[in-house]
A = this chain, B = another copy of it.
Amino acid sequence: MSEPIYVIGHQQPDTDTICSALAYARLKREQGADVVPARTGALNPETQFVVDRWGVEIPVLLDDAAGEQVILVDHNEYSQTVTGAENAEIVEIIDHHRIGDIETSEPILFRNEPVGSTATILTQLFDDANETIPTQTAGLLLSGILSDTVVLRSPTTTERDRAAATRLADIVDVDYEAYGKELLTQKSKVGEKSPREMVLSDFKEFDFDGQQVGIGQIETVEPSVVLDQQDAVLETMDDVATERDYAVFLLLVTDLLEEDSTALVAGPEVEPVEKGLDTTFTDREAFLPGVMSRKKQVVPLLEDAFGANSA
């Protein structure tokens, strides 16, 4: 028997990453390919809730992708992917982020679209292939869209996300606003975590012009649960920044109801962050009105600021 192809999302898997891996593996298997959904790490409480809610098996843990064939979903940079990806054969990529640093030697399918979730693109891929979306898969895709777009409220939300969510909600016969609130409640369950779990549970690492930058995000309906233990959180951030030699570690505490974020900062290179985000940190804290999207409202600004810094 030949080896399967793994479909895998980013490190620190979130709901869009896991649901996209599950849905794409399903589509590929319908089309006769030997494809297995995989993950890079533990599920967060929201994603665990989604997987239980729709009664699916969680993807297999892939520790090391070296020597394997992999399809990447919901990310396209080496700093965010599974260990060993440099020595894997990347055979496809489906994503909705900036274009990262992955190169291939053969032509492959790379479908990156500026929409609110990878699940939105996967909904399209089922249509393109003339495959009916199974109910279970529709539930997963709906979850991916609602989670990544904060129930269609994030500035990353497009008409296509809305149309896909409406249609998927029809298939599974749920009220997407009500289901979305259930997801938000799960996402907000940060109070029981240690500060380290909190700051690293939704975390991405970037290489900006040779400098390593970590950006975490806590999306919650109760930011006070995090901000009340600010000293412990900042201490943990200092530890992480030192251990990993980060130029900066930025943590966004995003208030899902007020639709803004409080940023906390660690590491030596605070100045480009202040320039990039056009803000000033006081006691290592800054308020960012209207900021909900790390991808759209923070990453491009920091990339430019760090680039300009070194130029």
Q: Measuring CB to CB, which residues of chain A are less than 8 angstroms from any residue of chain B?
A: 93, 96-114, 128, 295-296, 299-300, 303-304
Contacts and interface: CB of A to CB of B under 8 A. Distances in A.
Contacts of A114: 106-109
Contacts of A108: 98-99, 112, 114
A113 B108 CA distance: 6
Of A93, A96, A106, most buried by chain B (CB within 10 Å of CB) is: A106
Nearest to A299: B105
A309 to B, nearest CB: 14
B109 A300 contact: no
A98 B106 contact: yes
A95 to B, nearest CB: 8
17 contacts: A93-B99, A96-B107, A97-B107, A98-B104, A98-B106, A105-B303, A106-B300, A107-B112, A107-B295, A107-B296, A108-B112, A109-B113, A110-B110, A110-B111, A111-B111, A111-B112, A111-B113
A98 B109 contact: no
Of A93, A99, A108, most buried by chain B (CB within 10 Å of CB) is: A99
A100 B103 CA distance: 5
B99 A110 contact: yes
Nearest to A113: B109
Contacts of A304: 105
Contacts of A98: 103-108
A110 B112 contact: yes
Contacts of A102: 99
Given A110-B110, A111-B111, A112-B110, A103 B101 contact: yes
A98 B303 CA distance: 25
Nearest to A104: B99
A96 B97 CA distance: 20
Nearest to A128: B128
A204 to B, nearest CB: 14
A303 B107 CA distance: 13
